[in-house]
Each structure stands twice: as C-alpha cells, then as structure tokens.
Amino acid sequence: NAGVTQTPKFRVLKTGQSMTLLCAQDMNHEYMYWYRQDPGMGLRLIHYSVGEGTTAKGEVPDGYNVSRLKKQNFLLGLESAAPSQTSVYFCASSLGTSGVTYNEQFFGPGTRLTVL
Amino acid sequence: AQSVSQHNHHVILSEAASLELGCNYSYGGTVNLFWYVQYPGQHLQLLLKYFSGDPLVKGIKGFEAEFIKSKFSFNLRKPSVQWSDTAEYFCAVKPRSGTYKYIFGTGTRLKVLA
C-alpha cells in the first residue's frame, strides 16, 4: 500500500514550457486535491476532484488544468509555465463523505518545481 | 469567507519546554478539525483530528489538542518538546457541509533547541 505518490519529485522548467504532474493513490479514495505551498502562505488549493471524471477550481486555479480520468489518478498540467509557478506542489486524497464525518487528507511527498 | 488563523508564525523553544500553538477558525457551522505536521523536506502527516465527542483529543508523539467551540479554537499542546519536534505545524478545518474543501492555516514553524 503506497498511499499517495507523486511524480516527478523535482523538475526545472523554462518559462513557457509545459508539463504534467501525476498523482496516484491506491486507497480507493473519492476525493483528490492539488495544493501549492509557498513560504509564509501555507497550502493553497489549486483544483480538486470529488470523483472520477469531475474536477473543480480551488483558490488559485489560473495557469493550471487538471484531469481525473481514472479514480486513482489526478493530473495537474501547466500549459505555459511562468516563474510565479515556482513552488512545491502537493497532492492529497481523502475517502470522501461517510455519513456526517469526513476523513483526513493523506498527502503525497510533493513535487518541487522551479520555473526559470 | 472561511479562514483559519495561526497567530504564531515562528516559535523557538528549548527541549523539555511546553508547547502551545494557537488555531482559530471562522465558520459558524459544524466542522472537523485537524493538525498536521511537516518535518523538513517531507510531506504533511496527520497529528490528530477531531470530529465529535470529547473535545480533548490525543494524537501521536504526545501531542494533544483541545476544541473550544465557544472560542472557535483548536489549540495544539505538548507538555515537553523534543529536538525531533522541529517542524512546521498546520491547523486545518473542514466544514461538514457546503464545501469539499479543507481550509489550512498558514503554518507555525517550530524550532526546538537541543
């Protein structure tokens, strides 16, 4: 049981290049999330998904796109990278609704992205 | 708008000192509450969570937190910190209804001096 995995772990891009970050979870979780973490700003939600084939915007969606074609995978795409997208990106998943309670999020190890 | 405030951004303690990190949230409805820890270079890991019942919650590594509903607070405590507790700590809130989102505070960086 690997939990939440992310690839790649590190990446350096030039301005204008594109890339896709992959998040995979093997816990059969319904909900998946992409965050970016910047110093002093905590975690900011980029996009999230509450099920296969569904996605929704978070706080900071501009410049990013996502897809959830399979329940276990959640992809984050940068079509034209900008230096402002230099950050550490974390994927998280959670079980989803369970009556009136929600389970905690499980986080991946992160991807450190630098855009030059 | 819903928000989570962690007023202590940086805390420096000596080993064996007691720790209390503040967390306040703004949301009028029922919430689930979490504390996560992020060790240097690592991902966030759950320390403890509160859904209902006893407002004093015990977590891993000797941490505990108390939910005070009237104060919209969920402060994290540890009686005696160790050097290995050096990390960043995040408080998070999940409203029970109306949103799928978890709301995170900006984090508190704790440094424990040996």
* A105 contact B CB<8A: yes
Tell me, what's the pLDDT at A19?
Answer: 95
Share of chain A above pLDDT 90, in %: 86
**Per-residue pLDDT tens over the stretch A56-96:** 999 999 999 999 999 999 999 999 999 999 999 999 999 87
- Going B71 to B99 to A112 to B84, the CA torsion angle's sign is positive
Q: Are residues B43 and A108, on separate chains, in Cβ contact within 8 Å?
A: yes
Q: Which residue in chain A is spatially nearest to B90 when comparing CA positions?
A: A42
Compute the average pLDDT of residues A12-17: 97
pLDDT exceeds cutoff 70 at A100: no
Distance to chain A for B66, nearest Cα, Å: 18
Best to test chain A binding among B25, B33, B44, B57 (most A CBs inside 10 Å): B44
Residues of A in contact with B50 (CB under 8 A): none
Q: What is the CA radius of gyration of chain A?
A: 14
Q: Are residues B43 and A110, on separate chains, in Cβ contact within 8 Å?
A: yes
* A104 contact B CB<8A: yes
Strand B64-68 to strand B73-78: parallel, antiparallel, or no bridges (unpaired)? antiparallel
- The backbone torsions φ and ψ at residue A110, rounded to the nearest 5 degrees and listed phi first, read 95, 155
Lookup: tokens for B14: 């000596």
Q: Are residues A104 and B45, on separate chains, in Cβ contact within 8 Å?
A: no
Tell me, what's the pLDDT at B41?
Answer: 86
The three state secondary structure string of chain A is CCCEEEECCEEEECCCCCEEEEEEECCCCCEEEEEEEECCCEEEEEEEECCCCCCEECCCCCCEEEECCCCCEEEEEECCCCHHHCEEEEEEEECCEECCEECCCEECCCEEEEEC
The residues facing A53 across adjacent strands are none
Give the CA-trace dihedral at A84, B3, A91, A39, to 10 degrees. Answer: 40
Q: Are residues B51 and A90, on separate chains, in Cβ contact within 8 Å?
A: no
Lookup: tokens for A102: 């929600």
Tell me, what's the pLDDT at A1?
Answer: 72
Distance to chain B for A14, nearest Cα, Å: 24
Which residues have C-beta within 8 Å of that of residue A99, sequence separation ≥ 6?
none
CA distance B72 to A45: 23
- The backbone torsions φ and ψ at residue B23, rounded to the nearest 5 degrees and listed phi first, read -145, 125
Q: Which residue is associated with the tokens 């569904």?
A: A54
DSSP state of B27: -
Of B32, B90, B101, Cβ closest to residue A58: B101
Share of chain A above pLDDT 70, in %: 95
- C-alpha triplet B13, B17, B20: angle, nearest 5°: 80
Distance to chain A for B100, nearest Cα, Å: 8
Lookup: tokens for A103: 């389970």
Instruction: Specify the length of chain A in residues.
Output: 116
Amino acid at B46: L
Count of pairs with CB atoms under 8 A, one residue in A, one in B = 51
Residues of B in contact with A104 (CB under 8 A): 34, 46, 49
Q: What is the largest CA-CA distance in chain A?
A: 46
Contact B23, B37 (CB under 8 A): no
**Per-residue pLDDT tens over the stretch B4-40:** 999 889 999 999 999 999 999 998 888 899 999 999 9
**Per-residue pLDDT tens over the stretch B56-104:** 999 999 999 999 999 999 999 999 999 999 999 999 999 887 788 899 9
